[in-house]
Structure 1
Amino acid sequence: MSARRRRDGGVVVIGLGRFGCHLASSLTQLGHEVLAVDRNPDRVQKWSPYLDRVVQADSTEEGTLRQLGLADFGRVVVAIGASVEASVLTVLALAELGGPEIWARATSDQHARILESVGARHVIFPEAETGERVAHLIVSRMLDYIEFGDDFAIAKVRVPQSLVGRSLRDLGPIDRYGVMVVGAKLPGQPFRYAAPEMVLAPGSILIVEGSIGQVQAFAALA
């Protein structure tokens, strides 16, 4: 693959622990070229049959990263979680390359601040974000949930039985419940974007958006 195509669509994943291997697999399934890097030979051998290219290397060395051609990639994800030192040194080495956009996994707020200070553009907390999301799903009737910050969320919910057979125009969900119905899907049918004349059919799955509390309250109607 050319350097330009790598920059446009290629992604480097450094660290093939539980988070890194799932991320690399998902990116591959989405059609992106993935270069995976890990210093553990057992992990490299394990994932070589499933990913485009897996390399055993010390990611904390700038020269090694340069030899691997990481400067030609547009995005690099540092998924190292077991060693804060290796994570920080890897981000620092990547920053010295001056090329890729750096995403980095953090295990604490202090770790995140250090990563940002040495060059990470995006810092992610996969365990914390997953735990918070699952907690919301456990204690509510939402089927799925994405929080965007500032008390705003999009959720997938079953249509409440009390609302079946009524149109969105008649219901006025924004005025009555504080949520906007984005669309609906019946089993075996394609997703339909919402319109005022849409009638909520039994068995529908709705996509709604609003504040976290309002979305949860609407889901509870089911």
Structure 2
Amino acid sequence: MKLQIGIVGLGKFGLKFGQTLVALGHEVLGVESDPEKVKNAQHILTQVFQTDAMSREALEQIRIQDLEHVLVSVGDSIAASIMISMYLKELGVAKVWAKAINKDHEKLLYKIGVDEVVIPEFMAAKQIASRIAMPGFIEYLPFDRSMAVKEFTIKRWAGKNLKELNLTNIFGIQVIAARRSGEKKYQYIPKADELFQEGDNFVAIGKISQLSKILP
């Protein structure tokens, strides 16, 4: 389903966020006061407005309230971030996300009703540390940080299948994809009776505490 998403603030994070969404097939409306940043974004995003997002009237005039999601990414200005987020909630934007620069900023944003807050530096550090400490780690799940997605390579389990391994009941994890050794493409929702061979890979979702126990 194609979404209509707004981004207020087109610095490095905001513009990259928008570029990724456009590549995924969504429509992205950018809002930025800096003419140079507007110019850089015009060939990347669906539509770009040069306006002062600190003005509630300006936001209303560009019909930002009609969008399903809006991300507020306005650099290091905590005051601007909070004011703009508050205006968006008052205007009736369904889902407001905001970038924070620290934990106190995050708390303030949640107090005014922001639906989701991201601290990019914290997220990046945690992802990198997890990739080093937990080989095969792919991603945390945004709705539950105790859950993750991890890739495994078959060694000890060669000659067995998912039905025999009974991973859901024993470990509480769910295998969502599998790939034969030497192949590039994954088979999603793999069949339970197909035998694993040494060097095959599978991707599972589950609690980090359980995923770390798996030695396939």
Q: What is the aligned-residue RMSD (CA, Å)?
A: 2.4
Distance 1:13 1:136 in 2: 29
Instruction: Assess if the C-alpha contact under 8 Å between 2:154 and 2:200 holds in 1.
Output: no
Number of equivalenced pairs? 213
Contact 2:9 2:32 in 1 (8 A): yes
Higher helix fraction (1 or 2): 1
Q: Within 1, Cα distance between the matches of 2:131 and 2:71?
A: 28
Q: Name structure 2 gaps, 5 residues minimum.
A: none
Distance 2:186 2:130 in 1: 27
Query: Shift in Å at residue 145 of structure 1?
Result: 2.7
Per the normalisation by structure 2, the TM-score is 0.86
2:89 to 92, 95, 98: 95
1:37, 1:57 within 8 Å by CA — same for their partners in 2? yes
Question: Is 1:74 the equivalent of 2:74?
Answer: no
State the partner residue of 1:51.
45
CA–CA distance in structure 1, aligned partners of residues 171 and 5 of structure 2: 42
Q: Please report how far the alpha carbon of residue 176 of structure 1 lies from its aligned counterpart in structure 2 after TM superposition.
A: 5.8
The code of the aligned residue for 1:149 comes to D
TM-score after normalising by structure 1: 0.84
Residue equivalent to 1:172: 166
Query: Once structures 1 and 2 are overlaid, which stretch shifts more, 145-154 or 35-44?
Result: 145-154
**1:127-146 correspondence to structure 2 within 5 Å:** 127-146=121-140
C-alpha deviation, 1:110, in angstroms: 1.6
8 Å contact kept, 1:141–1:216: no
Match of 2:55 in 1: 61
Query: Gapped runs of 5+ residues in structure 1?
Result: 1-7
Q: Which residue of 2 aligns with 1:22?
A: 16
Verify: 1:33 aligned to 2:37, yes or no: no
21-30 or 139-148: bigger deviation: 139-148
What's the % identity of the aligned pairs? 26
Once the two structures are superposed, residues 10-31 of structure 1 have per-residue CA deviations (whole angstroms, 9 ceiling, x without a partner) of 1111111222111101111122
Contact 1:146/1:155, CA 8 A, preserved across alignment: no
Pairing 1:117-136 to 2, within 5 Å after superposition:
117-136=111-130
